[in-house]
Chains A and B, each alone.
Chain A
Amino acid sequence: MAEIARLLQRLGEGATAKIWRLGYAARFFVYILLHSGTALRRFRLTVREMYFAGVQSMIIILVSGLFVGMVLGLQGYDTLQRYGSSEALGILVALSLVRELGPVVAGLLFASRAGSAITAEIGLMKATEQIAAMEMMAVDPVARVVAPRFWAGVISMPLLAALFSAMGIFGGYLVGVQLIGVDEGAFWSQMQASVDVRNDILNGVIKSVVFGIAVTWIAVFEGYDAPPTAEGVSGATTRTVVTSSLAILALDFVLTALMFTGGSAK
Chain B
Amino acid sequence: MAAAPIVEIDRVSFGYDASRPVLSDVSLRIAPGSVVGIMGQSGCGKTTLLRIVAGWLKAGAGTTRVLGEDLSGLDAGGIFALRRKMGMLFQFGALFTDMTVFDNVAFQMREHTDLPEELIADLVAMKLEAVGLRGAAQLMPSALSGGMARRVALARAVALDPQLMLYDEPFTGLDPISLGVIARLIRTLNDSLGQTSIVVSHDVEECFGIVDYVYFVSAGRIVAEGKPEEMRRSGAAFVRQFVRGETDGPIPFHYPAPEYAADLAQAGAGG
Contact = CB atoms under 8 A, between A and B. Distances in A.
A binds B: yes
Interface of A: 125, 128-130, 132-140, 144
Contacts of B94: 128-130, 132-133
Interface string B70-105: 000000000011011011101110111100000000
A135 B83 CA distance: 8
Contact of A133 (B56, B81, B84, B88): B88
SS class, residues of chain A in contact with chain B: helix
B92 A138 contact: no
Contacts of B92: 128-129
Contacts of B96: 125, 130, 133-134
The 7 closest A-B pairs by CB, nearest first: A129-B94, A133-B94, A138-B83, A136-B88, A138-B80, A138-B84, A129-B90
A128 B98 CA distance: 13
Given A128-B94, A129-B94, A130-B97, A136 B111 contact: no
B149 to A, nearest CB: 11
9 contacts: A130-B97, A132-B90, A132-B94, A133-B88, A133-B90, A133-B94, A136-B87, A136-B88, A138-B81
A91 to B, nearest CB: 47
B54 A128 contact: no
B208 interface: no
B27 interface: no
Interface of B: 54, 56, 80-81, 83-84, 86-88, 90-92, 94-97, 107-108, 111-112, 153, 156-157
B124 to A, nearest CB: 15
A137 B80 CA distance: 8
A138 B112 contact: yes
Contacts of B107: 137, 139
A48 to B, nearest CB: 9
Nearest to B85: A138
B97 A128 contact: yes
A233 to B, nearest CB: 14
A32 to B, nearest CB: 16
Contacts of B156: 137
Contacts of A138: 80-81, 83-84, 112
A97 B96 CA distance: 41
B76 to A, nearest CB: 9
Contact of B111 (A128, A129, A132, A137): A137
A128 B83 CA distance: 20
Given A130-B94, A137-B111, 16 more contacts: A128-B92, A128-B94, A128-B97, A129-B90, A129-B92, A129-B94, A130-B96, A132-B56, A133-B88, A133-B94, A137-B157, A138-B80, A138-B83, A138-B112, A139-B111, A140-B80
A136 B156 CA distance: 11
A136 B84 contact: no
A221 B8 CA distance: 37
A135 B87 CA distance: 11
A136 B54 contact: yes
A93 to B, nearest CB: 41
Contact of B83 (A125, A129, A136): A136
Contacts of A125: 96-97
A137 B90 contact: no
B150 to A, nearest CB: 12
B211 to A, nearest CB: 22
B54 A137 contact: no
A137 B97 contact: no
